[in-house]
Amino acid sequence: MKYLDEYRDRASVERLSKAIHALVTKPHTLMEVCGGQTHSIVKHGIDSLLPPEISLVHGPGCPVCVTPVELIDKAVTLANRPGVILTSFGDMLRVPGSNGDLFGAKASGGDVRIVYSPLDAVKLAQKNPDKEVVFFAVGFETTAPVNAMAVHQAHQLELDNFSILCSHVLVPPAIEAILQAPGNRVQGFLAAGHVCTVMGYWQYEPIAERYRAPIVVTGFEPVDILHGVYMCVKQLEEGRAEVENQYARSVTRQGNEAAQQLVERIFEVSPRKWRGIGEIPRSGLALRAEYATFDAEKRYELEAEGAAESTMCISGEVLRGVKKPHECPAFGIECTPDSPLGAPMVSSEGACAAYYRYRRHEPEAAAAPSSGKDPA
């Protein structure tokens, strides 16, 4: 299959692995930002093909995982509200809040429905004028355009029974937060190709220059990731810090400008709290004042309440790249996909879910804990 089989080609993988081994002269720590890349790395054993000098750590690139507990609680509150249809992508249903999850709300009689697009939620609002339809809008820049389009359509249709519970986060501020953190040891990044397909990579250029950290826009298949690692390590070995594009078959520097304009019309940049990390300035999107009627938090006067996470869960350290899932004492025991303590165990892009699916029976599951040095 074009653009798939050739990026899983064994000979190409072996060539890149050998090239990386030949290139490295000193230790380097790289972070893949995207949860999709994490799953590919773990599934295909890509990290095992690298020399011991290279350490890959997993970043906060799973939007479901970084959605704060407070917003999960608000979604559950809405799901239990009479007359409300709470719509969401399927991977949000098992994410634990402080008082249960959406799956539990549905089991208790709440009207929770899985949709495949926010535009489906708009159609649902049209078909059910006697119900309030709320879409749980979670995601990075990748899903922001379609969520913006849903609000735009609802506005054009003058729907007064549609709103979104917004939890959009932005990648560049998260990268800066990691680089600014005390004890940071991440030297270079593999940036998420699908985010850059929408937003381009011009936003990363000042970050690479300011922090002297190479950023390589990278795809998701084994050849993509190893090529991205090679490009990033080559920069580090040569003392360069630039933004390079490995994923050129999909990404351009400017990105999808029409999508960017739509997002800017509907949303504005705002502070956003990240689960396990805390608040990062200018790292989220919020509806502009002229679209406030579609803001579920304002419409239903949902108050922000302090919500505690499980004391056994180390998802914050996993999301910051400090520890890996198998270093959690609850991994695969108290915390499983059927009984998760944290979002990374149930999200389709969560690092813990990747390790549980592909590595829970490997020897590293019993490995000694890391040094505890905090890159974020």
pLDDT in tens, 307-318: 677 888 998 899
Is the pLDDT at 373 greater than 70? The verdict is: no
Cβ-contact 72, 42 below 8 angstroms: no
C-alpha 110: how far from its chain's center?
A: 27
- Percent of the chain predicted with pLDDT > 70: 95
The whole-angstrom separation of Cα 140 and Cα 135 is: 16
Is the pLDDT at 101 greater than 60? The verdict is: yes
Give 363's pLDDT tier (boundaries 50, 70, 90).
low
Vertex 218 angle, CA 61 and 19, to 5°: 125
Which residue reads 């608000």 in tokens? 74
Residue 162 DSSP SS3: strand
Q: Which residues pair with 318 in a beta bridge?
A: none
Residue 317 DSSP SS3: helix
Residues comprising the chain, all counted? 376
The whole-angstrom separation of Cα 172 and Cα 36 is: 17
Mean pLDDT of the chain: 93
Average pLDDT over residues 229-233: 98
pLDDT of residue 250: 95
The whole-angstrom separation of Cα 74 and Cα 343 is: 16
The whole-angstrom separation of Cα 94 and Cα 232 is: 36
Map out the domains of the chain with their CATH numbers: 1-312 (3.40.50.11740), 315-358 (no CATH)
CA distances from 328 to 95, 100, 316 (A): 18, 22, 11
pLDDT of residue 307: 67
Give the model confidence (pLDDT) of 246-261 as tens digits.
999 999 999 999 999 9
pLDDT of residue 369: 38
Give the model confidence (pLDDT) of 174-225 as tens digits.
999 999 998 899 999 999 999 999 999 999 999 999 999 999 999 999 999 9
Average pLDDT over residues 366-371: 39
Give the model confidence (pLDDT) of 13-44 as tens digits.
999 999 999 999 999 999 999 999 999 999 99
Closest C-alpha to 195, from 63, 89, 29, 91 = 63
Is the pLDDT at 104 greater than 50? The verdict is: yes
Give the model confidence (pLDDT) of 233-247 as tens digits.
999 999 999 999 999
